[in-house]
Amino acid sequence: MIMDVLIVGSLAYDSLETPVGSRADELGGSASYGGFSAAFHNRKNSGNGIALVGVVGDDFKSEHLEWYNASGLDISGIEVNRGETFRWKGSYHGTMAEAVTHETHLNVFETFQPKVPTSHSKPQVLMCANLHPSLQSSVLLQATAKRVSILDSMNLWINIANEELRELIKKVDILVLNDGEVRMLSGDENLITASNSVLQMKNGGILVVKRGEHGVLALHPEGMISMPSYPTSNLVDPTGCGDSFAGAMAQILSQGSGEVSRAELAEALVHATVTASFTIENFGTERIRNLTNEEYQQRLIEYRTITNTS
Ligand code: AMP
């Protein structure tokens, strides 16, 4: 079956500490968050399916594979290898604007060679969620997006795989980064000039800059987009907000055809923003996995009213 969205990224057990509390071995990873988010929109829009590509260790709980299945995700591209699942330990302080990484254990990802099932090699949208650029690169060689390719990354790879990342961003249609990463990659403090120089590095296309509580800025060939975040006081755990944001955007864009217009991107960003606002309201994937259509529609209407766009 032709997938709407193919997501490659990390599948992880996270240890999290936020001002609200802490959790150990919480199911996480960029592909998990991106997948649950895209799967929610896939069910809502009666799409053709979302598939994950990644690796877990033999310590991965079958209950968690069941969670992927239950949300309708195709997991035939997930390998179970000998060893431990990827682990990430992070904490958030104050306004929880930034994650402080304490530990990253690649474990089974260290020797992972992604294999995209042939049946999944021509998705509408290919989403390379946060992962080592060489693994993202390998997936870009095995799969071709019929419509849009999206790439996400993080400060770690800007630091230790800079050249590789700079080459990779030229090969995708949409680059998604947060404001700190854009500043870091460009070496420029001013977000607008920094974003413009990253787009130049990328040789054009679309750049989406996630700005946490300040919303999103996007550079599109037809013009800029700037949107606020959904104002919520219920901040529990921001882990995976960026990935759920990108997962929602990917699924919405998989439903269109031709070039992505500025108006279409703006609409996808509305859904990405509203979706991410749910992820933050509980630890791990809890909130995004159990999100109902009614809750979503209600917040979507509220967001459009708040931003005067309804
Ligand atoms: P976000 O908060 O959206 O940036 O995503 C956080 C998720 O990224 C967590 O679930 C982590 O497991 C995952 N993550 C953290 N560091 C890495 C890394 N170096 N490579 C891949 N995934 C990571």
Could you write out the DSSP letters of every residue in the chain?
Answer: ---SEEEE---EEEEEEETTEEEEEEEE-HHHHHHHHHHHHHHHTT-S-EEEEEEEETT--HHHHHHHHHTT-EEEEEEEESSPPEEEEEEE-TT--SEEEEEEE-GGGGG------GGGSS-SEEEE-SS-HHHHHHHHHH---SSEEEEE--HHHHHHSHHHHHHHGGG-SEEEEEHHHHHHHHT-SSHHHHHHHHHHHTTSSEEEEE-GGG-EEEEETTEEEEEPPP--S--S--TTHHHHHHHHHHHHHTT--SS--HHHHHHHHHHHHHHHHHHTTSSTTHHHHT--HHHHHHHHHHHHHHTT--
**Separation of CA 87 and ligand 1 centre (Å):** 9
Write down the pLDDT at residue 165.
98
Query: Ligand 1 in contact with 242 (CB < 6 A)?
Result: yes
Q: Is 131 in the pocket of ligand 1 (CB under 6 A)?
A: yes
| Model confidence pLDDT, tens digit, residues 221-230 | 999 999 999 9
Ligand 1 contact, 18 CB (< 6 A): no
pLDDT of residue 309: 87
CA distance 246 to 48: 18
Q: Apex CA 176: angle with CA 178 and CA 204, to 5°?
A: 120
CA dihedral sign, ordered 189, 191, 196, 198: positive
The single residue listed with the structure tokens 């990935």 is 243
Contact 247, 37 (CB under 8 A): yes
pLDDT of residue 99: 93
- The C-alpha atoms of residue 171 and residue 151 are separated, in whole angstroms, by 9
Those residues of the chain that have pLDDT short of 70 are: none
Q: Are 12 and 29 spatial neighbours (Cβ–Cβ below 8 Å)?
A: yes
- Contact yes or no for 158/181 (Cβ under 8 A): yes
Mutational test site, ligand 1, from 16, 18, 30, max ligand atoms within 8 Å of CB = 30
CA distance 31 to 54: 8
What number does the ligand 1 atom closest to the CA of 88 have? 12
Which residue's CA lies nearest to atom 6 of ligand 1? 240
Q: What is the position in ligand 1's atom list of the atom closest to the CA of 33?
A: 10
Query: Best substitution site from 36, 37, 85, 88 to test ligand 1's pocket, by max atoms within 8 Å of Cβ?
Result: 88
CA of 248 to the centre of ligand 1 (A): 17
Ligand 1 contact via 241 beta carbon (within 6 Å): yes
Distance 246 CA to ligand 1 centre (A): 13
Length of the chain: 310
Instruction: Specify the pTM.
Output: 0.97
Structure confidence by residue, pLDDT tens digits, 221-279: 999 999 999 999 899 999 999 999 999 999 999 999 999 999 999 999 999 999 999 99
pLDDT of residue 2: 82
Q: Give Cα 114 to chain centroid, integer Å.
A: 18
Alpha carbon distance 69, 108 (integer Å)? 22
- Name the closest-CA residue to atom 12, ligand 1: 29
- What tokens were used for 220? 């599109």
Q: What does the alpha-carbon distance between residue 72 and residue 191 come to, in Å, rounded to a whole number?
A: 38
Residue 146 Cα distances to 40, 124, 154, angstroms: 22, 5, 26
* pLDDT value at residue 250: 98
112 lines ligand 1 (CB under 6 A): no
The predicted pLDDT at position 285 comes to 98
Q: Which atom of ligand 1 is found nearest the CA of 243?
A: 3
Atom number, ligand 1, closest to the C-alpha of residue 99 = 2
